[in-house]
Amino acid sequence: MKKFIWLIIPIVALATAGMYLYYTYGRNPRTEEVINWFRDPSSRPELMMAINSKCNDAPFIFPTNGLIGFIWDDSFRPGHRHSGLDIFGGTEVGTTPIVAAYSGYLTRQADWISTVIIRVPEDPLEPSRQIWVYYTHMADASGNSFVSAEFPQGTSEVYVEAGTLLGYQGNYSGDPLNPVGIHLHVSIVEDDGFGNFKNELEIENTYDPTPYFGMPLNANENPDSIPVCGN
């Protein structure tokens, strides 16, 4: 009996933690909309953004087709602050194209399987500073890259115009047994003052993308709705 009780205790603890996480994080209206959309991506065409589209007078074009599922400073797991946008195409891996949202100089480091970053020497919102635009998850779960062949690993400082094909949406996470959903993650990264990009994983090193895309992309100001141009 005692052995049985000791087996039950961790199961109950895990179930309790799962219920806590669901009711704390899973009931966010935006998260629920994303989950519902995943079940049938064709069900909400009004939530889909189009590649190369531009929202009002915002400087960036939209880099892919899809639904903006998670935005800047979203917290969809404990202790996590999301440093960019996750855009879900609702298609298979390697089929939804990704383009440069703004012109600049592209780098793909030698060990980058699914990622490129573009240096923008003059921030269109504040020309006195340099910014970097980071694009990732362009590979399948096993690490087969969908980055355009124009940008092999080791590419450095190649000029690209806004709208240039960078690759295709994938689900690469670095762990074949734990792929992410098929999407593009894009973020706007600070320069370190010496011509290098900061660590994109830390939200303090990134900028709120709202004014760059002209949509409500800050979770502190838009806690519950799927962003689209005009809302």
Closest CA to 189 of 119, 87, 107, 89: 119
The verdict on pTM exceeding 0.75 is: yes
Q: Distance between CA atoms of 181 and 197, rounded to whole angstroms?
A: 26
Greater model confidence, 81 or 147: 147
pLDDT in tens, 22-73: 433 445 788 888 888 989 988 889 999 999 999 999 999 999 999 999 999 9
Torsion angles phi and psi, residue 10, rounded to 5: -65, -30
Q: State the average pLDDT over residues 89-112.
A: 97
Residue 113 near residue 172, CB atoms below 8 Å: yes
Domains, the chain: 29-213 (2.70.70.10)
Is the pLDDT at 191 greater than 50? The verdict is yes
pLDDT band at residue 4 under the 50/70/90 scheme: very low
In the chain, % of residues over pLDDT 90: 74
DSSP 24: I
Q: Distance between CA atoms of 128 and 123, rounded to whole angstroms?
A: 7
Placement of tokens 């141009």 in the chain = 229
pLDDT in tens, 138-155: 999 999 999 999 999 999
DSSP 23: I
DSSP 54: -
